[in-house]
Amino acid sequence: RGTRSNRQAARHPTAFARASAKMSWLANEWKSGLPANVLAKIDELESKMESMRREAQQRSMQIDNLTATHHKAKTGEDEARRQCKDMQRELQTLSTSVEQLKSQAAKAQ
């Protein structure tokens, strides 16, 4: 269950925008009355935090991409191994057939 304002926001997009703006104001209310140097440090830390959040998100995307690439390469490698085994079986079958034909040819002479 949400609060009354959250339920209203869910039904009315403009109510959501008002609720969001109110929450934003409330989130920054604790900063009121702080000295300028403290506010500057808070802004600096918030900026660094946002930058680090974006960097973490980018790294997460890179990890996802590398994981997908690795999976694709592994799948390709597995397929190549399967094809190699199939070809080895086929080669063995052909070798056996050649030996049988040679044997039959020798008997026929």
* pTM for this predicted structure: 0.53
> What is the DSSP-derived secondary structure letter of residue 1?
-
What does the pLDDT read at residue 109? 79
- Reference 17, options 25, 28, 29, 9; nearest CA is 9
pLDDT (mean) for 48-68: 97
**1-29 pLDDT per residue, tens:** 444 444 444 455 555 555 555 556 667 78
What does the pLDDT read at residue 107? 87
pLDDT (mean) for 61-67: 97
Written as one letter, the residue type at 79 is: E
- Reference 67, options 59, 78, 79, 56; nearest CA is 59
φ and ψ at residue 12, rounded to 5 degrees = -130, 115
Q: Is 15 in contact with 5 (CB distance < 8 Å)?
A: yes
**22-49 pLDDT per residue, tens:** 556 667 788 888 999 999 999 999 999 9
**Whether residue 86 has pLDDT greater than 50:** yes
Dihedral sign, Cα of residue 47, residue 49, residue 52, residue 58: negative
3-state helix, strand, coil in the chain (%, to 5): 90, 0, 10
